[in-house]
Amino acid sequence: MSRIGRNAVPIPSGVTAAIEGQTVKVKGPKGAMQLVLPDDVGAKMESGGVKVDPRNESKRARAMWGTYRSLIDNLVTGVTKGFEQRLEITGVGYRAAVQGKNLQLTLGYSHDVAYAIPEGITIATPRPTEIVISGIDRQKVGQVAAEIRAYRPPEPYKGKGVKYAGEYIFRKEGKKK
């Protein structure tokens, strides 16, 4: 039994949720999103919330039950508060700046890296060494953060590179004479 799946997803005031077949649509102050459920799980409106239940007792249905309950909860959180991911840049001369619809990254290569900002995502650089990625889709925000980090992941000797805020970089000792 899924402990997460058992709980209904609460719908706060100012947010509307509708279920049409296997599609759950959520609309809130920050925008609208939808999610298509697999055939193994079903959703229904129940006392101010969305309740997700497995349609049968197969292993896949039990696995998808809690997963899709969490995804619906992410939709509700996204249209009310939104999601944010922070990246930190460490290294001499490493910096970032937003120019139009591109994020310009100077990461020690012979050329600057231009990252095209996807639709539905906003990127801000409060400081040249900090990148703030925000949007209503949690998956998309995380994917953009991972793609930017992949240009220069932090290395273990000096810690230079792009890392998530609060990420611990395991440091190695250099060569000994």
Average pLDDT over the chain, rounded to an integer: 91
Distances, alpha carbon 22 to alpha carbons 25, 57, 77, 154, 162, in Å: 10, 18, 20, 42, 40
- CATH 3.90.930.12 placement within the chain: 3-80, 83-164
Alpha helices in the chain (DSSP H): 3-6, 59-80, 138-150
Residues 6+ apart with CB under 8 A from 61: 40, 41, 54, 55
* pLDDT surpassing 90 at residue 57: no
Other beta carbons within 10 angstroms of residue 173's beta carbon come to 7
44: β partners: 51
Mean pLDDT value of segment 112-119: 94
DSSP letter (8 states) at residue 38? P
- According to the model, what pLDDT value does residue 6 have? 83
pTM greater than the 0.75 cutoff: yes
Q: What is the mean pLDDT of residues 22-51?
A: 90
**CATH 3.90.930.12 corresponds to the domain 3-80:** yes
pLDDT at 174: 87
As assigned by CATH, the class of the 83-164 domain is alpha beta
Q: Tell me the mean pLDDT in the region 17-25.
A: 90
Confidence check: pLDDT of 163 > 70 = yes
